[in-house]
């Protein structure tokens, strides 16, 4: 039997000439060589990625150049240029729609189907009335809603967002089971999209997700939601006092306070007053701001009573609220704050509220007796161009 291990000696290491010569180099050179190798590999990788992305973009452009005119012609012929639709003489649900004309071999591919969805959505954003309704019908009858629903079930958050957006743009209702959990997702983008969709699509209780939201409603999300709420037609508005009273999510309470002001829900006053005992001074300040804008006069004495125990932001809001209420009951208090406070913001807000509440004679008297700073603050407060 031949001894295949005859030449092998365990003491003698395996020698790789290139590695050996590398190891013989000084350390600094070794580091430089490794650095050059990593840099070169990265450049090659990035360049290949760029080529690949460009190639994909080029292929997409070629595909779009073929498909978009085809889709545009189909939509023009079967939806937009129809006389019955242009004259509005037929309801979209009853109009004859040649669905088979859209069931082309080209649209069986997943990528091409997506192009069709995107184009339909773009058209629907541009056209309403019978045209918009027919486009929606087309989307449903081609079962494209199923494609969007499938996206909602995918694990990647951006695909979910895309699915929700498509369904929202096409005004397709999504069941609470599917959308409600997403309104409380850890991923902010998904959460925000789901909340917007829920408000737009839920016909009965568009604010139900406020009940289950534990994740915060960020400032930007509040702006987006506010825009959605105020621009969605026929939205069922609840009494927002419900969440001011029961929600443990501070950002939801804060947002509801803004909605109470916007919709002038004066009935919410007692619920907002209870927030004056809240431990969070930011929320307290927002509640005071809300009460001032609602001109909820019943709370004026309570605000004066708690004033001295409040942090600066709440004190400023109390001064503003008293000014907005315009009851003229607290002129003396405002005068004292204006004359004796050492804080500039307090003096400024007290002056503004004084200008709104105090008799003209008192303002003139203050102008005459105040220091130079005080006079400047009063003049500033009396400027009608400065919004209060």
Partner 1 sequence: MRNILVIDDDEIIQNVLEKILVKEGFRVERAQNGKEGLAKFDLLKYDLVITDLMMPYANGFEIISKLKQHPNTANAAVIVISSITHEESVMDSFKLGVDEYIRKPIMVGELLLRIKKLLLSRPSNA
Chain contacts with partner 1 (rule: CB under 8 A)? 72, 76, 80-81, 85-88, 122-132
Residue 77 C-beta: closest distance to partner 1, Å: 10
C-alpha 310/C-alpha 317 separation (Å) is 10
Nearer to partner 1 (CB atom), residue 132 or residue 292: 132
Q: How far is the CB of 79 from partner 1 (least distance, A)?
A: 10
Nearest-approach distance from CB 123 to partner 1, in angstroms: 6
CB nearer partner 1, residue 122 or residue 251: 122
Pick the closer one to partner 1 by CB: 83 or 308. Answer: 83
Give the rounded distance of the alpha carbon of 176 from its chain centre. 20
CB-neighbour burial class of residue 135 (10 A; exposed 0-12, middle 13-18, buried 19+): buried
According to DSSP, residue 96 is labeled -
| Rounded Cα–Cα distance for residues 320 and 305 (Å) | 15
Which of 119/335 has CB closer to partner 1? 119
Cα distances (Å, whole numbers) of residue 226 to 86, 204, 230, 300, 363: 34, 18, 6, 29, 39
Contact assessment for residue 323 and residue 337, using Cβ atoms and an 8 Å cutoff: no
CA distances to 144, 205, 302, 335 from 170, in Å: 10, 20, 50, 58
How many whole angstroms separate alpha carbon 316 and alpha carbon 139? Answer: 54
Q: CB of residue 94 vs partner 1: minimum separation in angstroms?
A: 16
Q: What's the closest the beta carbon of residue 128 comes to partner 1, in angstroms?
A: 4
- Residue whose CB is less far from partner 1, 125 or 281: 125
CB closer to partner 1, 87 vs 155: 87
Distance CA(16)–CA(98), nearest Å, equals 72
CB of 130 to partner 1, least distance (A): 7
Q: What number of CA atoms fall less than 13 Å from residue 173's CA on the CB side? A: 8
| Least gap, CB of 86 to partner 1 (angstroms) | 5
Q: CA torsion sign, 82 to 83 to 87 to 93?
A: negative
Selection from 132, 142, 137 nearest residue 88 by Cα: 132
**In the bound complex, what is the minimum distance in angstroms from residue 63's beta carbon to partner 1?**
17
Q: Which residues contact 110 (CB under 8 A, 6 or more apart)?
A: none
Judged by beta carbon, residue 31 or residue 86, the one nearer partner 1 is 86
């Amino acid at each position: 039997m031949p001894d295949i291990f005859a030449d092998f000696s365990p003491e003698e290491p395996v020698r790789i000439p290139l590695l050996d010569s590398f190891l013989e180099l000084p350390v600094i050179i070794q580091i430089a060589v490794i650095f050059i190798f990593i840099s070169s590999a990265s450049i090659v990788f990035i360049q290949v990625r760029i080529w690949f992305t460009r190639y994909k973009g080029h292929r997409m452009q070629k595909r779009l150049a073929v498909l978009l005119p085809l889709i545009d012609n189909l939509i023009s012929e079967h939806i937009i240029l129809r006389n019955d639709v242009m004259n509005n003489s037929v309801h979209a649900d009853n109009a004859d729609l040649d669905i088979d004309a859209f069931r082309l071999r080209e649209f069986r591919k997943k990528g091409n189907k997506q192009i069709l969805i995107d184009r339909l959505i773009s058209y629907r954003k541009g056209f309403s009335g019978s045209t918009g309704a027919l486009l929606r019908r087309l989307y449903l009858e081609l079962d494209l809603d199923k494609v969007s629903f499938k996206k909602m079930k995918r694990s990647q958050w951006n695909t979910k967002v895309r699915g929700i957006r498509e369904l929202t743009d096409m005004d397709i209702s999504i069941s609470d089971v599917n959308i409600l959990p997403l309104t409380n997702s850890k991923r902010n983008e998904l959460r925000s999209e789901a909340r917007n969709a829920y408000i737009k699509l839920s016909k009965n209780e568009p604010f139900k997700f406020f009940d289950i939201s534990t994740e915060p409603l960020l400032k930007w999300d509040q702006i987006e939601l506010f825009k959605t709420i105020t621009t969605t037609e026929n939205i069922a508005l609840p009494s927002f006092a419900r969440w001011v009273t029961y929600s443990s999510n501070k950002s939801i309470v804060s947002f509801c306070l803004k909605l109470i002001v916007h919709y002038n829900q004066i009935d919410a006053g007692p619920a907002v007053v209870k927030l004056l005992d809240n431990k969070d001074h930011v929320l307290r300040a927002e509640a005071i701001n809300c009460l001032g804008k609602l001109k909820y006069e019943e709370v004026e004495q309570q605000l004066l009573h708690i004033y001295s125990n409040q942090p600066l932001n709440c004190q400023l809001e109390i001064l503003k609220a008293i000014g907005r209420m315009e009851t003229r009951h607290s002129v003396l208090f405002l005068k004292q704050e204006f004359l004796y406070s050492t804080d500039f913001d307090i003096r400024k807000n007290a002056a503004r509220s004084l200008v709104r509440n105090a008799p003209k004679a008192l303002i003139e008297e203050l102008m005459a007796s105040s220091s130079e700073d005080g006079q400047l603050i009063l003049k500033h407060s009396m400027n009608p161009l400065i919004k209060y």
